[in-house]
């Protein structure tokens, strides 16, 4: 009788990155990994956005995901101790890779939305951070015409305070509709993931909207830093973008790919969350990065 391949183990626990930040993380292990994949979520997500993808990859790779500070069940220190900016997230990403003992030479990072700029900022400072990066559906440059009005409004007061209050008052609507705006029909999202986002919406004094607000308060500064230092980015990058992204236009992805001379994959009929709407394509893109 042929021996059955053991099912991958899903380990969800916590890891301390520094004195202020403990991250909830998921590790799905392969018995003989060919490399490591690190999956970085966006707003208003948690690590459960990637559970199905992690399981699909786990026959060949060790797969990691974590909740960003301010999201899911990770730490939410006060802004006096942690600023929640893309640059701060880059530091947390670097700390996670070190604390988790990940071999950078065999690592592919897949980063979307708020996770993508931190990954690129870190790659500018740490050229060996990964063997490859896959990024998409985010705002690498300060291009107001390419961004949804409410996102652009988060970048400066007093509009930012109004958007923050509105979003905090509309939790149910955001969780119900954020993933489908701009699309002709809905796609399936697991109940486990939806429940986890609902459970992780707020802890103590801070909601994930508050963390998002603080992230955007210094977003232009970090966009400008990234653009000014494009030449420092030597890690191979693939840009993946949903053509129907309502929040950040595909034109942003086209410009990024052109300026980095990176491969560009535009996904027809896909919105802002390709890893949820087109999981099989996401898995294939990650696998291709190891070929």
Distance CA 102, CA 120 (A): 18
**Per-residue confidence (pLDDT) for residue 186, from 0 to 100:** 97
**Per-residue confidence (pLDDT) for residue 197, from 0 to 100:** 98
Tally: H helices and E strands in the chain: 12, 10
**Per-residue confidence (pLDDT) for residue 32, from 0 to 100:** 83
Q: Give the rounded distance of the alpha carbon of 260 from its chain centre.
A: 20
- N-to-C CA span, the chain: 32
Could you tell me if 111 and 90 are in contact, meaning their C-beta atoms sit under 8 angstroms apart? no
**Per-residue confidence (pLDDT) for residue 125, from 0 to 100:** 97
Q: Which domains does the chain have, with CATH numbers?
A: 9-288 (3.40.50.1820)
Strand partners, 63: 28, 37
Distance CA 191, CA 144 (A): 34
Please list the pLDDT of the chain residue by residue as tens digits (291 residues). Answer: 455 566 778 899 999 999 999 999 999 987 789 999 999 999 999 999 999 999 999 999 999 999 999 999 999 999 999 999 999 999 999 999 999 999 999 999 999 999 999 999 999 999 999 999 999 999 999 999 999 999 999 999 999 999 999 999 999 999 999 999 999 999 999 999 999 999 999 988 999 999 999 999 999 999 999 999 999 999 999 999 999 999 999 999 999 999 999 999 999 999 999 999 999 999 999 999 999
**Per-residue confidence (pLDDT) for residue 4, from 0 to 100:** 59
Sorted by sequence, the CB contacts under 8 Å of residue 246 that are 6+ apart come out as 148, 181, 182, 271, 272
**Per-residue confidence (pLDDT) for residue 6, from 0 to 100:** 65
> Using a CB cutoff of 8 Å and minimum separation of 24, what contacts does 55-58 make?
55/8, 55/10, 55/28, 56/279, 56/280, 56/283, 57/28, 57/283, 57/286, 57/287, 58/8, 58/28, 58/29, 58/30
């Amino acid at each position: 009788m042929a021996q059955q391949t053991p099912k991958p183990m899903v380990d969800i626990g916590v890891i301390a990155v520094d004195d202020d930040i403990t991250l909830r993380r998921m590790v799905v292990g392969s018995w003989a990994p060919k490399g490591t994949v690190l999956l970085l979520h966006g707003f208003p997500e948690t690590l459960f956005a990637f559970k199905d993808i992690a399981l699909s990859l786990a026959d060949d790779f060790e797969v990691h995901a974590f909740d960003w500070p301010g999201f899911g069940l990770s730490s939410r220190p006060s802004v006096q101790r942690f600023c929640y900016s893309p640059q701060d997230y880059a530091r947390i990403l670097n700390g996670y890779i070190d604390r988790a003992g990940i071999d950078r030479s065999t690592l592919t990072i897949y980063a979307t939305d708020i996770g993508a700029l931190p990954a690129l900022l870190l790659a500018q400072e740490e050229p060996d951070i990964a063997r490859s990066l896959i990024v998409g559906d985010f705002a690498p440059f300060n291009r107001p015409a390419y961004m949804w009005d409410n996102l652009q409004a988060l970048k400066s007061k007093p509009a930012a305070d109004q958007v923050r209050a509105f979003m905090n008052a509309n939790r149910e609507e955001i969780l119900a509709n954020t993933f489908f705006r701009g699309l002709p029909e809905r796609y399936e999202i697991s109940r486990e993931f939806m429940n986890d986002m609902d459970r992780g919406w707020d802890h103590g004094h801070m909601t994930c909207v508050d963390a998002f607000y603080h992230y955007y308060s210094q977003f232009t500064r970090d966009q400008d830093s990234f653009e000014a230092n494009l030449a420092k980015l030597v890690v191979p990058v693939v840009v993946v973008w949903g053509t129907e992204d309502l929040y950040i236009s595909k034109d942003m992805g086209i410009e990024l790919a052109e300026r980095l001379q990176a491969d560009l994959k535009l996904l027809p009929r896909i919105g802002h969350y390709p890893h949820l709407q087109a999981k099989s394509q996401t898995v294939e893109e990650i696998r291709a990065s190891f070929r």
